[in-house]
Amino acid sequence: MKKYSLDFAKALDAKDDLAKYRKEFYLPENMTYLDGNSLGILSRRAESSLLQVLDSWKQFGIDGWTKGKYPWFYLSEKLGDVTAPLVGALSDEIIVTGSTTVNLHQLVATFYQPKGNKTKILADELNFPSDIYALQSQIKHKGYNPDTHLIRVKSKDGRTLQEDDIIAAMTEDISLVVLPAVLYRSGQILDIKRLTAAARERNIYIGFDLCHSIGAIPHSLHDWNVDFAFWCNYKYLNAGPGSVGGLFVHQHHFGKAPGLAGWFSSKKEVQFDMEHVLTPADNAGAYQIGTPHVLSIAPLIGSLELFSEVGILKIREKSIKLTNYMLDLIKDELLEYGFVIANPLEETKRGGHIYLEHQEAASICKALKANGVIPDFRAPNGIRLAPIAFYNSFKDVFHAISILKEIMIQKTYKEYENTREIIA
Residue stretches of the annotated binding site: 100-101, 128-131, 209, 212, 234, 263, 291
Strands 120-124 and 174-180: parallel
CB 153 within 8 A of CB 164: no
22 vs 367: CA distance, rounded Å:
26
Contacts of 119 (CB under 8 A, 6+ apart): 142, 144, 149, 173, 175
CA-nearest of 330, 332, 333, 327 to 347 is 327
Three-state secondary-structure class, residue 304: helix
The radius of gyration computed from the CA coordinates of the chain, to the nearest angstrom, equals 22
118 vs 252: CA distance, rounded Å:
21
113 vs 377: CA distance, rounded Å:
38
122 vs 413: CA distance, rounded Å:
40
Three-state secondary-structure class, residue 247: strand
236-247 burial: b if 16+ Cβ within 10 Å, else e? bbbbbeebbbbb
Contacts of 319 (CB under 8 A, 6+ apart): 216, 217, 352, 387, 388, 389
Annotated binding site for pyridoxal 5'-phosphate: 100-101, 128-131, 209, 212, 234, 263, 291
DSSP one-letter code for 267: -
109 vs 3: CA distance, rounded Å:
51
Contacts of 214 (CB under 8 A, 6+ apart): 86, 87, 231, 233, 235, 236, 237, 246
